[in-house]
Amino acid sequence: MSRWLVLAVLLIGLSGALAWSLITIGELKAEARQSEKAIIHLNQTIKEERARYEQADRMLAETARQRADATRRAGELADQLRALAGTDPCVDTRIGPDAAERVRQYRTSPPVSVSGSSTGVD
């Protein structure tokens, strides 16, 4: 009978160890799945950030190109004005800020229609 008791205790112990192992394996698999999901999410976030940085880099490069073009064009216009300054005295005339503001207001304001003798006068 003691053999049967030892065998029964051994079988119960093995069954318990097997059950504990299966439960532990299930928990570890669940943790592994959760970790894998977290890694996938972080990978996607990194890809999105990289895409945003690349877009920002493209925008900055385009802005730098436009600025270089504007600087080059401004230099060309300055050269043209210097070349014209000696031939035409009107080109070298300085326009004050008040005159520039009046021209801006004239260009942006709607035309005023006045009836009377001032037809055709600007």
- Residue 25 inside a domain? The answer is yes
Q: How many domains does the chain have?
A: 1
Q: Is 47 part of a structural domain of the chain?
A: yes
Cα–Cα–Cα angle for 71, 72, 77, nearest 5°?
A: 95
Instruction: Say if residues 114 and 122 touch (Cβ distance below 8 Å).
Output: no
Are 91 and 85 in contact by the 8 Å Cβ rule? The answer is yes
**77 is in which domain, residue-wise?**
20-83
At 26-75, the pLDDT tens digits run: 999 999 999 999 999 999 999 999 999 999 999 999 999 999 999 999 99
In a domain, 37, yes or no: yes
DSSP 93: -
In the numeric block, the tokens 């260009």 are attached to 107
Residue 92 falls inside a structural domain = no
pLDDT of res. 45: 97
pTM for this entry: 0.47
HSE (side-chain half, CA atoms, 13 Å) at 101: 3
Compute the average pLDDT of residues 4-24. 91
Q: Report d(CA 122, CA 111) in Å as an integer.
A: 10
What's the first-to-final CA gap in the chain, in angstroms?
127
Task: Give a yes or no: residue 101 inside a domain.
Answer: no
Residue 79 counted as domain residue: yes
CA distance 8 to 2: 10
**Is the residue at 13 inside a domain?**
no
Cα 6 to Cα 3, 9, 15, 19, 84: the distances in Å are 5, 5, 14, 20, 115
